Structure 1
């Protein structure tokens, strides 16, 4: 498995870990006391506030960013682009997503948005060279 493919796996698991932190913070609490509600997980997530609410939003954003990243990596590999470059950009994407998630937890909105743009930019950088290749 290439480094880029490993990064795809990490990108897929990162949102789950993000929300898992919020769920773990309510461990030991009953549902009636705000503990995690596995019967109504989306309703429970929507009721969260503070960092746990932001964790839910970060999870959603992680899942939203995932398809374009996966497509970019697969397109680059299918096109036979330089694997080292693809690996490096994929690792940069993961680093950016980790920083983005930390900024979301810390409620640093403006910088978080800048980091989000960087993540989109890296994804485009992975994919863009395929636009000039005849498939």
Structure 2
């Protein structure tokens, strides 16, 4: 019996999948123990509660939504690159770079660094395109 190797790029897929959850946790940070009547987290209507958040909590929620939006392309790019047998080291490096850029994006979003955030978003998109095209021959 043979086993498939779980590459660094595949680990990056897992990490990227967990980033939206980290954003949601950040948006809820410190509000779980505050009573609902005092504006604390409302687990009966979590999306409604998150939608009402402002400042850094609202931006963390927006980062969560954008991070979810970035996942399908990243997942597909990594899988397609593996299927087409892209150079593994290059693929791993680009997947790591994508994850680091997305983490930086989240941090910049929460910190309200709009121009820098948009630049990082664009670079991450470009890296994702490179991942997809890495196996092109």
Q: TM-score range with shorter-chain normalisation?
A: over 0.9
Alignment correspondent of 1:56: 61
Q: Tell me how many residue pairs correspond in the alignment.
A: 132
User: Is residue 2:22 matched to residue 1:25?
Assistant: no
Alignment correspondent of 2:80: 75
The separation in 2 between residues aligned to 1:97 and 1:68, in whole angstroms, is 13
Alignment correspondent of 1:92: 97
Higher helix proportion, which one? 1
Alignment correspondent of 1:112: 117
Deviation at 1:27, TM superposition (A): 2.4
Alignment correspondent of 2:71: 66
User: Is residue 2:7 matched to residue 1:8?
Assistant: no
- Structure 1's consecutive aligned runs of 4 or more residues displaced over 3 angstroms after TM superposition are none
Instruction: Tell me the alpha carbon deviations over residues 9-41 of structure 1, each in whole angstroms, 9 at most, x when there is no partner.
Output: 000001101110121221211111111111111
- Name the TM-score, length of structure 2 as normaliser: 0.93
Backbone CA RMSD of aligned residues:
1.0
Contact 2:78 2:95 in 1 (8 A): yes
Instruction: Tell me the alpha carbon deviations over residues 40-90 of structure 1, each in whole angstroms, 9 at most, x when there is no partner.
Output: 111001100010000000000000000000000000000011111110000
Give unmatched runs, 5+ long, in structure 2.
1-5
- Name the TM-score, length of structure 1 as normaliser: 0.94
